[in-house]
Amino acid sequence: MASQRRRGKKSGRSVNPLVVVLVTGGVFLVLLVVGLLVAKSMVYGWLKGEGLRDWLVKAAQTNMKSRVELAEMNWSGSEVYSDRFLAEGYQKAAFSKLELDGIRAKIGGLRNKAVMIPDVTVNRLEMDFSNKRLSRPMRESSPGSSSASEDAAEEVAAKDDVPGWLRKYLPNRVEVDGVSISSANISVANSAGQQVFALSEVRTEIMPDFATAVWEFAGRGGKMQVLDQPEIELKEMGLRWKESEIFIDQCSLGIYENGHIDGVGEIDFSEEGSFDVELTVSSIDVDELVEGDWEKRLGGTIEGPVRITGQPGAFVYEGTLNIKEGVIESLPVLDRVAQYTRADQFKRLVLSEAKTDFKKTGDTVELRNLALQSDGLIRVEGKVDITGEQLSGNLQVGVTPGTMRWIPGAERKIFTEDRDGFRWAPMTLAGTVGEPKEDLSGRLIAAAGEAIVEDLPNGLLNEAKKFLGGEDDGSSSSEVIEKGRKLLDSLTPFLQGQ
C-alpha cells in the first residue's frame, strides 16, 4: 500500500513551466539558428550560382534599356571574375554599345537587400554613342539568356526555382563604391557614321549612383580626338554622366608641343548631339597654327578663352585670343615701310599688344577688334575676314609722328588723322592668306610721286609732262605719275626697287 501511494504521488506530479519554456525556447532558438544558417546558405548559394547572374542581367537590361550578355561568373572566396560584359542599346538607351573586359569584383555581402560591392576593377572599357541601335524584340528568350527582351527586362525577379519564403531575403539592388578601369575608350559618331569625338586609353575611376542614374568619372592619361582638330593629350578630367548628357566639371588637356587647355561644359549625345564647352587655352605656339610663309612671319604664344558650341562637324568657335611675346617679320608691307622710312625696326616688329576677338563657322573666320601695337612705332586696328584662303579686311594703321618724314607727302596726304598719339591711315586687305595684298604701299608711292612733282618748279613740271607725252591740259599729277615711273625713279631713290 505504501508503494502504491508513492507511485500515485509521483505520477501526479506537475511539470515545471519554467523548464517547458526553457526547453521550448532552446529548441526554437536552435531551429531559428539552423533556419538562418540554411537561409544564409541558400542566399549565398544563390549569389554564387546562376541566380545572381540572371538577376544582374535583368537588372542591367532594365536600367540600361539594352540587350545584355554576361559571361560566366567564377568565384574565389568573396571575389568574383567574369571575362566579359556586353550591353547593346535599344532605341531609348543612352548609348549604342558598352563592353567591359576582365571584370573582377569583391562582394561585401548583403545589407538592407542590397548586394554590397566595395571594389570593381576592369581591364578595358569600350563605349560607343551612335545611331546604331537594336530593334525592340517581340518575344522573350530564356530568362537567363543574353537576349531577353526589353519587355521582359521591365520586371526584375529571381529565378522561379527559388522558394517563395526565400525571395524576401534576396537583394533588389546593387551598391558599388567604385569602379577602376585600366583603359577606357569612348567614341561618338554622327548620323553619317563619322567619328566626331573620341577618348582612348584613359585610366578611369567611376563612382556610379544607381538611385539618381548619375555616374561620376575621373580620368587621367590617354588621348582625345575631335573632328578636324589635332590630337589632344588628356592630362586630367572630371565629369558626370546621366543618360545622354555629359557634364564636364573639370578637364586639363595638352595640345601641340607645349600648349595647355582647361575647360568645363556640357555635351549632349542624343540625336545629332550638341556641344557647349568653355575652354581656356595657353602656351600654344603660333607656329603650330599657321602654315607656309606665315610660319616665318609670325611668332609668339597664344592664350585666351574659347567657347565651342553646336553639333559635331558643325562647331562654332568664338572667343578672344592674345599673343604673348608676339613678333611680325618678313612682311612685304613692313619691308617697304622700313625702306621708305629708313627705319629698320619695321622689318621685325616686337609686339607689345596683339589681340583679337574671333568667330569661326565652317571655313569662315571673322576677326573683330583686332589690335596690334609695337610701342614707339606702329599700331594696327580693325577687322579681317578669312573665307577658305580668301582674305579681306579694313584696317587703320597708325604710326608715331615723324615716322614718315622720309616719305614725301605721306603725312600730308595719307596719314592725316591724329588720334591716341598716332597718325592714322586706312588700309584695305585682299588676296589670299598665302599671298596677302594691301593698298597702303601703292597709295604711299602715289602720294610721294605727287608730292615730288608738285614741288618741282613750274617750268620743269611742264617739261616733264611734255616728256611723258602729255600736254598742259589739266592732267592730274597722279596721271602723270602713272605714266612716268621711270622718270620718277631717276628723281628719287624712294621709288627705286618698286
Most confident of 6-10, 361-365, 475-479: 361-365
Q: What share of the chain is helix, strand, coil (3-state, %, to 5)?
A: 25, 45, 30
Percent of residues, the chain, with pLDDT higher than 90: 28
CA 142 to chain centre: 43
Q: For the chain, count helices (H), then strands (E).
A: 10, 26
Phi, psi angles (nearest 5°) of residue 403? -65, -35
Q: 73, 53 in Cβ contact below 8 A?
A: yes
Cβ atoms 372, 380 nearer than 8 A: yes
Share of the chain above pLDDT 70, in %: 71
CA proximity to 409, closest of 371, 451, 457:
451
Q: Are 323 and 354 in contact (CB under 8 A)?
A: yes
Q: Is the Cβ–Cβ distance between 400 and 411 less than 8 Å?
A: no
* DSSP secondary structure string for all residues of 333-389: HHHHHHHHHT-GGGGEEEPSEEEEEEEEETTEEEEEEEEEEETTTEEEEEEEEEETT
Q: How confident is the model at residue 27 (pLDDT cuts 50, 70, 90)?
A: very low
Residue 252 confidence (pLDDT) above 60? yes
Does residue 246 surpass a pLDDT of 90?
Answer: no
d(CA 426, CA 389): 23
Q: What stretch of H or E contains 294?
A: helix 294-297
- pLDDT score, position 479: 52
Residue 70 phi/psi, 5-degree rounding, is -135, 120
What is the reported pLDDT for 116? 78
Pairing of strands 378-387, 417-419: unpaired
343 and 403 Cβ atoms separated by less than 8 Å: yes
- C-alpha span between 267 and 241 (Å, rounded): 10
pLDDT of 353 strictly over 90: yes
**CA 408 to the chain's CA centroid:** 54
Task: Quote the DSSP letter at residue 440.
Answer: H
* The pLDDT of residue 120 is above 80: yes
Task: Record the pTM.
Answer: 0.69
Q: What's the gap between Cα 304 and its chain centre? A: 16
What is the predicted pLDDT for the residue at 314? 83
What whole-number distance in Å separates Cα of residue 232 and Cα of residue 431?
Answer: 33
Q: Please give the pLDDT value at position 47.
A: 58
Residue 44: the pLDDT is: 56
Gyration radius (Cα) of the chain, Å: 41
- The set of residues, in sequence order, having a beta carbon less than 8 Å from that of 19 and lying 6+ positions away, is none
pLDDT recorded at residue 463: 54
Q: Which amino acid is at 376?
A: G
